[in-house]
Each structure stands twice: as C-alpha cells, then as structure tokens.
Amino acid sequence: MSLNSAPESDRFPRISLTEPSGSSAEVLLHGGQVISWKNERREELLFVSSKAVRKPPKAIRGGIPVCFPQFGSFGSLEQHGFARNRVWSLDSDPSPLPPTDNQSSVDLILKSTEEDMKTWPRSFELRLRVSLSSGKLTLIPRVRNTDTKPFSFTFALSNYLCVSDISEVRLEGLETIDYFDNLMQRERFTEQADAITFDGEIDRVYLSTPSKIAIIDHEKKRTFVLRKDGMPDAAVWNPWDKKAKSLPDLADEEYKNMLCVDSAAVETPIALKPFEEWRGRQEISTVSSSYCSGQLDPRKVLNSFHGK
C-alpha cells in the first residue's frame, strides 16, 4: 500500500494497492472512493468518465462512490448523501476485522463533523476496508452509531462497471424480483425477463435481491460476479443517450461503456441503537465467459460459483 500525491490536474490524494498477480486498485481519500481496479493484464475494470470533475467537493463520476447516509433522493439530504463529498482519513484502528496484507488493503474512516450535524444531526463513524486479491475486489463498509439516540440510514456502494458495449450486456440474477422504477415515479413492478438487457435508459432499485448477481459482457467474453451481504437491494442505472447529454460530467457517448450495478440498502433503512454497528460486504470478481451455440449461457456462469 502506498499513499500518492495527486498530479496538479487532479487534486485528490489516493492510496495505491497492488498484489502479486499484477492487479491494482486506487482509492481516494476524497469520498473513500475506489476510482481504479485493473486486472493482471492492466485492463481497467471500473468506468470513470473522461469529463469527471476532479476538484473538491464534487464527487468523481465513476469508480465506486459510497452513498451514505442516503441513497439517491430517498430522503431530505443531497443526492446520495454527503459521504462521497467528504475527505476521509486512514483508519488506525480497524478492529474487529481480521488483519490483512497491508500491501493489498486499506482501512479508511469518516466521522461526523459539525458541518454534517447541521443537515443530519447524528454522531457516527463510517469505516471502509478495501481489499485487493487476484481477480477480486472486496469492500467492507461499517457504520457505528456513536450517538446517544438511535438513527437509521440508507446506503449503497455504487459500482460503475466498465463494459465494451452496453447493448451487448446481460444482467442475470434479478429474474422475478420486484423493483422500484425511478423513471415511473418509483412505481413498483416485477421483473419479467429471464435476463436484463439494455436498449434505453434504466434507473431501478431491485428489492430483496439474491446475494449474487452476474453481469455478462458478450464482446469481452467477461463476466463480473457481484456478491453482497448486508445490502439486500440492488440498483441498476444507465443514462442512455439523451440523459447522458444532460450530464455535464459525462461525455455524450460514454454511456455505451458503463453500467452501474449497486449493492444497496434502500427499501428498509438500516436502524442502529446507540453504540450498535452495522457491517456490509461486497465482492466483485471477474471470470472468463464462454460461448455456447453463439450465445453465453449465464446459468453455467452462475452455477459454477455455487459453494464457493
């Protein structure tokens, strides 16, 4: 693990993680945000917009922003809460998590400030461990109530995944699941498709989802496998062409190469009594996908992970 100064054009200091197989990751102190994850072939697996604003307090468009204490506009705070816009610190006391190789993990912490208390008057500690291993990136968020009163919050790790062509991507694991459609005033629907494919804007929160979701990139013959615990919901977002043009920190055509699949706790806020702690866990791994009669068989991809 190394702490690097940012170049003049990018004012965010970052922590660089590496591991023996050659993969790497970069984590910003600003927002506690992972902004790069490269495999052993140095291929970037996370999407970051070429037009991302790299100046505090703006959050960077891409990577894995931390949404706390509010996801989206599900509450009275700013969009996705304030944690992604704050400067975090290195956590010198990450217990009770087991120790890991400090070359391939980092522990960060964000504590409530007087500024935060004006808009969200609760005292908290938000910790995040980012761990890198061969073919896998693991994030473990923890929230401790350091207040004298109970509080509740919504939460998400917003995963901007880099894909070759959004029109060639299939998302497996959310069949028959209910979801809120944010493009339809959060009306509730049930997913009818065998797999989610993309031909237009999508902005949904799937509810009480399985612990494992597969994102299959046909063109790259690569599958992202998202495993999550403590975050029962999953948000899926792509702005498509019209919305992309309205976002100043996203280039017009970049929607084609990204897909957000978030680990989230949205429908039922997480409630903590004084001095209680919540812990979540997310693992993103990549596997090579194989073709079967010209098509990927996502069931084989998913089934191959049972028991692992």
* Binding site members for substrate: 61, 79, 84
Exposure of 306 by Cβ count < 10 A (0-12 exposed, 13-18 middle, 19+ buried)? Answer: exposed
Determine the Cα–Cα distance for residues 265 and 143; give it in Å rounded to an integer: 13
Q: Per the structure block, which two tokens stand in for 220?
A: 């790259």
Return the amino acid letter for 230.
G
Return the amino acid letter for 28.
L
Determine the Cα–Cα distance for residues 259 and 213; give it in Å rounded to an integer: 13
Give residue 236's Cα distance to chain centre.
Answer: 11
Helices (H) and strands (E) in the chain, counts: 3, 23
Known binding-site residue numbers = 61, 79, 84
Exposure of 20 by Cβ count < 10 A (0-12 exposed, 13-18 middle, 19+ buried)? Answer: exposed
**What value, to the nearest 5°, has the Cα angle with vertex 35 and ends 105 and 259?**
120
Tell the residue number behind the tokens 């702005």, with chain if given: 239
Strands 258-272 and 160-162: antiparallel
Determine the Cα–Cα distance for residues 229 and 260; give it in Å rounded to an integer: 18
Determine the Cα–Cα distance for residues 286 and 134; give it in Å rounded to an integer: 10
Q: Are the C-beta atoms of 235 and 261 separated by less than 8 Å?
A: yes
**What value, to the nearest 5°, has the Cα angle with vertex 74 and ends 264 and 169?**
45
Determine the Cα–Cα distance for residues 60 and 253; give it in Å rounded to an integer: 18
Where is 260: in which H helix or E strand?
A: strand 258-272
